[in-house]
Amino acid sequence: MRIRFMSELSHFCAVFAAGWFGAACVWAGALVDVQQGAALHKQGALLVDVRTPAEYAAGHAPGAVLIPLDQIERRMSELGAKNRPIALICRSGNRSGQAQSILERAGFTSTVNVAGGMNEWARAGLPVAVGDRSR
């Protein structure tokens, strides 16, 4: 089953990154690596950082929108349509996984969790912005 899921996930990322944002191409609960998360963001997915404002200010993915995990439920209206592609990121992938579960329960259908979070993002040499401005 794991092999099949990874194959399907690879297909999902290839299709998603190609710009096909239809709900049929996105599986709820998907986990992507930081390279895939960056590609999805570049293709138009909303990148939501669910860490604290202090963590965000210390270093975040450029273009990421800050919505701390403890605010995600009351700020869902800022995310747009429930089928909008959304990539969630935190420090390591734990809080973003929690946020993904919250959004899925609320009916969001096109969410992915960026595995390894900002720790892995920085290790991969992806760009990191510093400061407290969210978009």
The string of pLDDT tens digits covering residues 71-121 is 999 999 999 999 999 999 999 999 999 999 999 999 999 999 999 999 999
Number of domains in the chain: 1
Query: Looking at residue 28, what is its pLDDT?
Result: 58
Q: Does residue 49 form part of some domain?
A: yes
Please answer whether residues 108 and 79 qualify as being in contact, where contact means their C-beta atoms are separated by less than 8 angstroms. yes
- Tell me the CATH number at 51: 3.40.250.10
pLDDT at 119: 98
| Cα separation, 113 vs 104, whole angstroms | 12
Residue 128 lies in a domain: no
**Alpha carbon of residue 86 to chain centroid:** 5
Number of H helices, E strands in the chain: 5, 5
DSSP state, 82? T
In a domain, 129, yes or no: no
pTM for the model: 0.81
Residue 43 has pLDDT above 90, yes or no: yes
- What is the distance between the alpha carbons of residues 31 and 56, in angstroms, rounded to a whole number? 21
Q: From CA 43, how far away is CA 111, in angstroms rounded?
A: 14
130 domain-assigned: no
Answer yes or no: is pLDDT of 12 > 90: no
**In the predicted model, what is the mean pLDDT of residues 32-41?**
96
Residue 128 in tokens: 């990191």
Residue 131 lies in a domain: no
Structure tokens at 103: 């959004």
Is residue 134, in this structure, part of any structural domain at all?
Answer: no
Whether 101 is in a domain gets the answer yes
More confident residue, 24 or 104: 104
What is the pLDDT confidence band of residue 8, given thresholds at 50, 70 and 90?
Answer: very low
pLDDT recorded at residue 50: 98
Residue 132 banded pLDDT, cuts 50, 70, 90: confident
Domain that holds residue 7: 2-123
- Decide if 26 is inside a domain: yes
Catalytic residue among 64, 65, 67, 90: 90
Would you call 25 a catalytic residue per the annotation?
no
CA end-to-end distance (rounded Å), the chain: 39
